[in-house]
């Protein structure tokens, strides 16, 4: 089960405390921030081989390798490891759970030191820049001044973009896969329905559901089922499930019958066990407001960018990557973009469509 990454474990570190609180873009302060992170490979003596990996909406620090007794490897294990595109024989990889998350880093279900109770609905609204502030502190903690590269897909890519504009001289190379610098109105619309499903679930209890001993299961499940459709492509759904169903002939039923329905039910149900509803709200919302070129009008990163998009991605289609390319290009930043053929839609960034991993490998070499 283990390859030469060995068994990996998630570390935790305190990156903000009362004497040095995390000040958010909104002005709110978090007096205590813990961050869960993993590292793979060895930091070179010159400290010049670090690669920071930013996870997407429902990811966590466990990007690669195997945890003890785990049944599955990290979410980006096909990309990161010995001899892989992000080659841990050569590179030192850092992966951290995002601020606001629910997998070890401080988030809405953490205890507010000021009250001794969970933040719940009082957890402050986050900005993409706040995620980056925490990543920066983690790097400082690890004693890494400059990154060989930062890599992220989807929301992860958005963090990388924000970071490069925030600290124009800290990241040598940035890989943004299926990312966006500005959601469309339709993107926001889907996000709004998912959030409404959670916020208006009677079991949400104004965000104090944990104190009521419940979770807004219904809303969170529906949100996930709907979002999942936007992560895949019509082509891949058709190829995978077609019109296969349990009933035959003129038999039919209102409840789940088609295979695609069972599949979505499974996606929704399994999500409940691993994700928190308030984290879902807090991690999706910053995407709606994200406008890094507007927020950093004069930033000219020294970073070289590689952008990858997928032709079947209808959540963040190639137009999103082209906008990033054009905005960076107009500032004189070195950037290239490739649209790859892939049948799997937005989720292609987690898979291995032809050419994808080679684009990452060659850029990091």
The least distance separating a second copy from the CB of residue 328, rounded to whole angstroms, comes to 21
The least distance separating a second copy from the CB of residue 136, rounded to whole angstroms, comes to 18
**Whole-Å CA distances, 240 to 252, 258, 260, 345:** 21, 12, 8, 13
Q: Confirm or reject binding of residue 322 to a second copy (CB under 8 A).
A: no
Write down the residue that tokens 């080679």 correspond to.
358
Indicate which single residue of 148, 173, 195, 306 sits in contact with a second copy (rule: CB under 8 A).
195
Indicate which single residue of 218, 323, 357, 361 sits in contact with a second copy (rule: CB under 8 A).
218
CA atoms within 13 A on the CB side of 324: 36
Binding site membership for substrate: which residues?
224, 347
Contact set for a second copy, span 24-83 (CB under 8 A) = 25-26
H/E segment holding residue 221: helix 217-231
Sign, Cα dihedral of 349, 317, 189, 183: positive
Q: How many CB atoms lie within 10 A of CB 264?
A: 21
Stretch touching a second copy by CB under 8 A, among 37-45, 81-89, 280-288, 328-336 = 280-288
Q: Mask of contacts with a second copy, 106-125, x by CB under 8 A?
A: -------------------x
Stretch touching a second copy by CB under 8 A, among 87-95, 167-175, 215-223, 336-344 = 215-223
- Cβ-based neighbours of 308, under 8 Å, separated by 6 or more: 175, 176, 177, 178, 321, 337, 338, 339, 340, 349, 356, 359, 360
Indicate which single residue of 61, 139, 281, 340 sits in contact with a second copy (rule: CB under 8 A).
281
Contact set for a second copy, span 143-182 (CB under 8 A) = 182
Write down the residue that tokens 């001993």 correspond to.
213
What the block records as the tokens of 94 is: 């850092």
Q: Mask of contacts with a second copy, 259-278, x by CB under 8 A?
A: -xx--xx--x----------
Q: Confirm or reject binding of residue 213 to a second copy (CB under 8 A).
A: no
- Residues 220 and 269: beta-carbon distance below 8 Å: no
Q: Confirm or reject binding of residue 293 to a second copy (CB under 8 A).
A: no
For the question of residue 342 being annotated catalytic, the response is no
Stretch touching a second copy by CB under 8 A, among 14-22, 159-167, 221-229, 333-341 = 221-229
Q: Confirm or reject binding of residue 326 to a second copy (CB under 8 A).
A: no
DSSP string, 97-112: PPTT-SSSS--TTSEE
Q: Confirm or reject binding of residue 206 to a second copy (CB under 8 A).
A: no
Indicate which single residue of 114, 196, 300, 341 sits in contact with a second copy (rule: CB under 8 A).
196
Residue 339 DSSP code? E
- Residues 71 and 125: beta-carbon distance below 8 Å: no
For the question of residue 154 being annotated catalytic, the response is yes
Of the pair 21, 263, the CB lying nearest a second copy is at 263
Q: Confirm or reject binding of residue 184 to a second copy (CB under 8 A).
A: yes
Indicate which single residue of 253, 273, 298, 354 sits in contact with a second copy (rule: CB under 8 A).
253
Distance CA(181)–CA(287), nearest Å, equals 9
* DSSP percent split of the chain into helix, strand, coil, nearest 5: 40, 20, 45
Q: Confirm or reject binding of residue 202 to a second copy (CB under 8 A).
A: yes
- Residues 33 and 22: beta-carbon distance below 8 Å: yes
Distance CA(325)–CA(47), nearest Å, equals 29
For the question of residue 262 being annotated catalytic, the response is no
Q: Which residues pair with 48 in a beta bridge?
A: none
What the block records as the tokens of 287 is: 């995407």
As annotated, the active-site residues are 154, 313, 346
Sites of contact with a second copy (CB under 8 A): 25-26, 125, 127, 182, 184-186, 188-190, 192-193, 195-197, 199-202, 218-219, 221-222, 225-226, 229, 234, 237-238, 240-243, 250-256, 258, 260-261, 264-265, 268, 281-282, 285-286, 288-289, 291
């Amino acid at each position: 089960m283990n390859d030469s990454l060995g068994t990996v474990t998630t570390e935790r570190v305190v990156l903000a405390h009362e004497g040095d609180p995390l000040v958010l873009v909104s002005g709110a302060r978090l007096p205590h921030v813990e961050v869960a992170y993993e590292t793979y490979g060895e930091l070179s003596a010159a400290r010049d081989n670090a690669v920071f990996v930013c996870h997407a909406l429902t990811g966590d620090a466990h990007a690669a390798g195997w945890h003890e007794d785990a049944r599955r490897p990290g979410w980006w294990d096909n990309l990161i490891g010995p001899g892989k595109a992000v080659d841990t024989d050569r590179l030192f990889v850092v992966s951290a759970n995002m601020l606001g998350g629910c997998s070890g880093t401080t988030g809405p279900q953490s205890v507010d030191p000021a009250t001794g109770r969970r933040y719940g609905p009082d957890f402050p609204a986050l900005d993409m820049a706040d995620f980056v502030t925490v990543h920066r502190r983690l790097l400082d903690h690890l004693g890494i001044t400059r990154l060989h590269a930062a890599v992220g897909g989807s929301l992860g890519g958005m963090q990388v973009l924000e970071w490069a504009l925030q600290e124009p001289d800290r990241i040598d190379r940035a890989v943004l896969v299926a990312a966006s610098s500005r959601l469309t109105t339709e993107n926001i619309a889907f996000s709004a329905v998912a959030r409404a499903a959670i916020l208006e679930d009677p079991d949400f209890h104004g965000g104090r559901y944990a104190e009521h001993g419940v979770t807004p299961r219904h809303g969170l499940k529906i949100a996930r089922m709907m979002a999942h459709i936007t992560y895949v492509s019509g082509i891949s759904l058709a190829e995978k499930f077609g019109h296969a169903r349990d009933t035959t002939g003129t038999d039919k039923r209102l409840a789940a019958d088609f295979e695609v329905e069972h599949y979505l039910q499974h996606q929704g149900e399994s999500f409940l066990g691993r994700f928190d509803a308030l984290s879902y709200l807090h991690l999706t919302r910053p995407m709606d407001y994200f406008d890094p070129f507007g927020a950093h009008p004069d930033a000219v990163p020294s970073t070289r960018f590689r952008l990858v998009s997928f032709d079947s991605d209808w959540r963040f289609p190639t137009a999103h990557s082209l906008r990033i390319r054009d905005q960076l290009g107009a500032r004189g930043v070195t950037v290239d973009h490739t649209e790859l053929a892939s049948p799997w839609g937005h989720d292609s960034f987690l898979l291995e469509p032809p050419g994808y991993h080679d684009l990452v490998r060659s850029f990091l070499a």
